[in-house]
């Protein structure tokens, strides 16, 4: 038997973007149906991002969605860049006038948002995969196994393997970087106080704070590499080797709890919509972990989509909705460009050549510019911290000049 439902807005995917949109829409009196293919336990256990930028924290706080973040998150405002054995401090909070990040695991934020969504009257339907979206130009229909939901509008927040590819084929522009990142969740003997980026002839290395005595470690690896090639001792040894003498001042690495390989690629859809279906988060763009922008841009998409739909459904104004795809593509390209510039800074050219000292010295010089007060440092600090507003459908996308 097929369960047939109706809703003003159907949302596919209960990640941060889908849940934020569901909370905002439901609180505005919009009838929302949120479908997620995974179980609640799997969704609330997925470890992903851990840095929430300033504008996203402010947006969530203003909508009473940040209680857990404010209570259990940790405020950060500087990062260190290591090159040629020298550790350079970039105090981006001071350089930006006080803006910074909150360290708060994505799975904790998701748990908070699931609870808030339920309290707003939109209980996510877990274990409900959507196989197709039909009638996108009229009243879209979400079709799953034993389920059909007729909607006025649909918001796809269903990740990089989204239904968007079938609904809007050929709209994505993508790029594959010539390296990948090994990612490892590790135990540390004391909390990591700030992000550490290391440039080394053997490849990039990074240490990212998480809550408590855990950290996220990244190592540049060849594209063909696999996580099972890296046992715990090899992970720790490679990080110590690339960090050099700076490693003595960092938290000691303990048990490696999990490893994986991140395929480093970027993607932006030229139009984040198809008829009455909007795309948000990884369905609209894929970012590398560089600069920790994926979660934050996804929530920005959700904010824009939710307020545009509220204007249309509750107030009869379609102006904001008509500009959604243009705004999201514009901001996605700006964030991609920032992320790409940071990657260029952190990785030596391939091949580096017989003498890596020249590109290393160039990067050390550029890092110095980012730590000293001036236009370059201020622009980097504002972008890195995410000091802008959450997207306002009635306003422009903020633009910052070079790094």
238: domain CATH number is 3.30.9.10
Per-residue model confidence (pLDDT) at position 398:
42
Say if residue 282 is in the same domain as residue 306.
yes
Residue 25 near residue 303, CB atoms below 8 Å: no
Per-residue model confidence (pLDDT) at position 106:
92
Burial letters 337-370, b for 16+ CB under 10 A, else e:
ebbbbbbebbbbeeeeeeebeebbeebbebbeeb
- Give the domain extent around 199: 178-263
Flag whether 38 is in a domain: yes
402 pLDDT band, cuts 50/70/90, is: very low
Flag whether 365 is in a domain: no
Residue at a domain's end among 263, 285, 318: 263
Q: Record the tokens describing residue 104, joined without a space.
A: 């708060």
Look up the CATH number of the domain holding residue 10.
3.50.50.60
- How many domains are there within the chain? 2
Q: Within a 10 A sphere around the Cβ of 86, how many other Cβ atoms?
A: 13
Flag whether 188 is in a domain: yes
DSSP state of 1: -
| 322-328 CB contacts, 8 Å cutoff, 24+ apart | 323/393, 324/272, 324/273, 324/278, 324/393, 325/271, 325/272, 325/273, 325/278, 327/391, 327/393, 327/397, 328/272, 328/280, 328/284, 328/285, 328/301, 328/304
Say if residue 272 is in the same domain as residue 254.
no
Cα–Cα dist 208/216, whole Å: 5
Q: Record the tokens describing residue 367, joined without a space.
A: 């890092």
Say if residue 196 is in the same domain as residue 256.
yes
Flag whether 76 is in a domain: no
Task: For 78-101, write each residue's pLDDT tens digit.
Answer: 999 999 989 999 999 999 999 999
Q: Record the tokens describing residue 116, joined without a space.
A: 């808030």
Flag whether 141 is in a domain: yes
49 pLDDT band, cuts 50/70/90, is: confident
Task: For 266-319, write each residue's pLDDT tens digit.
Answer: 999 999 999 999 999 999 999 999 999 999 999 999 999 999 999 999 999 999
Say if residue 277 is in the same domain as residue 321.
yes
Residue 16 near residue 109, CB atoms below 8 Å: yes
Task: For 122-175, write each residue's pLDDT tens digit.
Answer: 999 999 999 999 999 999 999 998 999 999 999 999 999 999 999 999 999 999
Q: Could you give the strand order of the β-sheet that contains 195-199, starting from the edge strand earlier in sequence? A: 86-90, 79-83, 195-199, 205-209, 214-221, 180-188, 253-262
Residue 336 CA: distances (Å) to CA of 119, 307, 324, 328, 396: 35, 24, 18, 12, 18
Flag whether 370 is in a domain: no
Q: What are phi and psi of 320, to 5 degrees?
A: -65, -40
Residue 178 CA: distances (Å) to CA of 68, 350, 363: 38, 8, 19
This prediction's pTM: 0.93
Share of the chain above pLDDT 90, in %: 89
Written as one string, the DSSP assignment of 93-134 is HHHTTS--EEE--HHHHHHHHHHHHHHTT---EET--EEEEE
Q: Within a 10 A sphere around the Cβ of 226, how many other Cβ atoms?
A: 12
Residue at a domain's end among 234, 263, 292: 263
| SS3 letters across 247-281 | HHHCCCEEEEEEEEEECCEEEEECCCEECCEEECH
With 60 as the cut, is the pLDDT of residue 394 above it? Answer: no
Say if residue 250 is in the same domain as residue 273.
no
Say if residue 36 is in the same domain as residue 170.
yes
Say if residue 253 is in the same domain as residue 124.
no
Say if residue 306 is in the same domain as residue 317.
yes
Residue in the structure block whose two tokens are 């704070």: 209
Per-residue model confidence (pLDDT) at position 358:
92
Residue 299 near residue 138, CB atoms below 8 Å: no
Say if residue 240 is in the same domain as residue 272.
no
Angle subtended at Cα 233 by Cα 244 and Cα 176, rounded to the nearest 5 degrees:
75
Flag whether 403 is in a domain: no
Half-sphere exposure in the Cβ direction for 341 (13 Å, CA): 17
Cα–Cα dist 196/251, whole Å: 11
Say if residue 163 is in the same domain as residue 182.
no
Say if residue 252 is in the same domain as residue 293.
no
Per-residue model confidence (pLDDT) at position 391:
63
Residue at a domain's end among 329, 345, 361: 345
Say if residue 166 is in the same domain as residue 298.
yes
Flag whether 212 is in a domain: yes
Share of the chain above pLDDT 70, in %: 96
DSSP state of 201: T
With 60 as the cut, is the pLDDT of residue 365 above it? Answer: yes
């Amino acid at each position: 038997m097929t369960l047939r439902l109706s809703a003003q807005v159907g949302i596919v995917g209960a990640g941060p973007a889908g849940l934020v949109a569901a909370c905002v829409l439901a609180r505005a009196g919009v009838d929302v149906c949120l479908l997620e293919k995974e179980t609640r336990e799997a969704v609330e256990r997925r470890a992903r991002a851990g840095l929430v930028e300033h504008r996203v924290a402010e947006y969530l706080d203003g909508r009473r969605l940040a209680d857990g973040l404010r209570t259990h998150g940790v405020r950060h405002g500087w990062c260190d860049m290591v090159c040629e054995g020298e550790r350079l401090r970039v105090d981006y909070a001071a350089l930006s006038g006080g803006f910074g990040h909150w360290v708060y695991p994505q799975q904790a934020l998701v748990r908070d948002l699931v609870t808030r969504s339920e309290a707003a009257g939109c209980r996510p339907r877990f274990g409900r995969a959507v196989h197709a979206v039909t009638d996108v130009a009229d009243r879209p229909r979400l079709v799953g196994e034993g389920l059909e939901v007729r909607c006025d509008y649909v918001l796809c927040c269903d990740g990089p393997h989204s239904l968007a590819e079938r609904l809007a084929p050929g709209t994505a522009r993508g790029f594959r970087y010539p390296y990948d990142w090994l990612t490892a969740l590790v135990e540390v003997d004391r909390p990591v106080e700030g992000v550490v980026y290391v440039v080394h002839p053997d490849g990039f290395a990074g240490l990212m704070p998480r809550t408590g005595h855990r950290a996220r470690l990244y190592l540049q690896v060849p594209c063909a590499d696999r996580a099972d090639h890296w046992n715990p001792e090899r992970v720790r040894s490679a990080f110590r080797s690339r960090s050099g003498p700076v490693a003595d001042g960092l938290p000691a690495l303990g048990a490696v709890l999990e490893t994986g390989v991140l395929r480093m690629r970027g993607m932006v859809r030229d139009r984040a919509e198809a008829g009455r279906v909007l795309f948000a988060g990884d369905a609209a763009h894929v970012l590398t972990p560089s600069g920790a922008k994926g979660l934050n841009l996804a929530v920005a998409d959700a904010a824009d989509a939710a307020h545009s739909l509220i204007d249309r459904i509750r107030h009869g104004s379609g102006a904001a909705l008509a500009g959604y795809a243009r705004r999201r593509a514009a901001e996605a390209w700006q964030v991609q460009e920032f992320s790409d510039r940071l990657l260029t800074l952190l990785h030596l050219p391939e091949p580096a050549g017989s003498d890596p000292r020249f590109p290393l010295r160039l990067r050390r010089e550029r890092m110095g510019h980012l730590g000293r007060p001036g236009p370059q440092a201020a622009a980097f600090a504002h972008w890195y911290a995410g000091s802008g507003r959450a997207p306002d459908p009635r306003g422009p996308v903020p633009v910052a000049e070079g790094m």
